[in-house]
């Protein structure tokens, strides 16, 4: 395990420790770092202005997470329901967007959503002659971009437990008089909750810290916490406050991962008697 541990320590633990150390210093008069100890940066994180950006980021990321989980679970369920020989092909198409660059995929949405884009052209082809709808540089465009870019994570996370589930459990439920909805709610959904939780955490954690999608699809109108951190380091040249914001974001992510791990353990403990009975 030594090479893997050295890799994680050198490229993850040490950089995070350096960023954490920067958060305890002051901004220099002309930018940079003044190595004078202070806790002011962490106090500024809870300022109503920045707290509002955190809440807006959480709302946008939460909306994208809910949509991605619904669509991703439905897609994973459909793939798992197909015959075994066809499932690898469908999974290949699900992860195919990952073969292109993230920026290219995001710019593609600009082509789709701008006033002279493909969607507007389709509307005109169907006879729409009014003012083109304003779709680009909106909160909806940001959410659509986040959902599109992170949807494959949810599909893969939900497909894993669905593909491993014993089909005899659902058959037994139907034999005992359970409807399709009851079988899904009482059997299938509880057994796949760990995958749903993993996919949801993936999308939320990656979305709340994203700064590329809000910058491109939001046009700078919807600043998220990732954009704020980016601006502190590269525009305002306030590295200590940017480091404090980064550590607050990392703390939120770690808390979500701990909650997801706890929920997965509880779900596994609840479903263990079902497996033993089966």
What's the pLDDT tens digit per position in 158-197?
Answer: 999 999 888 888 888 888 888 888 888 888 888 898 899 8
Average pLDDT over residues 4-33: 91
For the cut 80, the answer to whether the pLDDT of residue 228 exceeds it is: yes
The predicted pLDDT at position 270 comes to 63
258 vs 24, residue with greater confidence: 24
d(CA 19, CA 185): 45
**Residue-averaged pLDDT of the chain:** 88
Residue 76 has pLDDT above 90, yes or no: yes
Instruction: State how far the Cα of 168 lies from the Cα of 252, in Å rounded to an integer.
Output: 40
pLDDT over threshold 60, residue 274: no
Dist. CA 3–CA 163, nearest whole Å = 33
């Amino acid at each position: 395990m030594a090479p893997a541990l050295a890799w994680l320590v050198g490229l993850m633990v040490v950089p995070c420790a350096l960023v954490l150390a920067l958060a305890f210093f002051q901004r220099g008069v002309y930018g940079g770092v003044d190595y004078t100890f202070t806790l002011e940066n962490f106090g500024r994180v809870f300022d109503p202005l920045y707290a509002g950006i955190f809440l807006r980021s959480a709302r946008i990321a939460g909306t994208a997470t809910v949509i991605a989980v619904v669509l991703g679970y439905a897609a994973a369920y459909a793939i798992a329901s197909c015959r075994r020989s066809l499932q690898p092909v469908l999974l290949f198409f699900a992860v195919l967007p990952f073969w292109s660059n993230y920026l290219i995929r995001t710019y593609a949405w600009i082509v789709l959503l701008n006033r002279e884009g493909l969607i507007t052209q389709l509307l005109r082809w169907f006879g729409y002659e009014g003012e083109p709808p304003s779709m680009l540089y909106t909160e909806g465009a940001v959410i659509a971009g986040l959902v599109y870019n992170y949807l494959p994570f949810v599909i893969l996370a939900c497909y894993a437990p669905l593909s491993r589930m014993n089909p005899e459990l659902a058959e037994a439920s139907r034999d005992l008089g359970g409807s399709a909805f009851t079988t899904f709610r009482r059997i299938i959904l509880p057994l796949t909750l760990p995958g749903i939780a993993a996919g949801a955490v993936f999308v939320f954690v990656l979305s709340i810290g994203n700064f590329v999608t809000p910058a491109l699809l939001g046009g700078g109108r919807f600043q998220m916490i990732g954009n704020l951190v980016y601006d502190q380091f590269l525009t305002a040249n306030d590295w200590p406050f940017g480091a404090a914001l980064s550590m607050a974001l990392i703390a939120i992510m770690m808390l979500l991962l701990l909650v997801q791990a706890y929920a997965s353990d509880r779900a596994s403990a609840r479903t263990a008697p079902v497996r033993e009975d089966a």
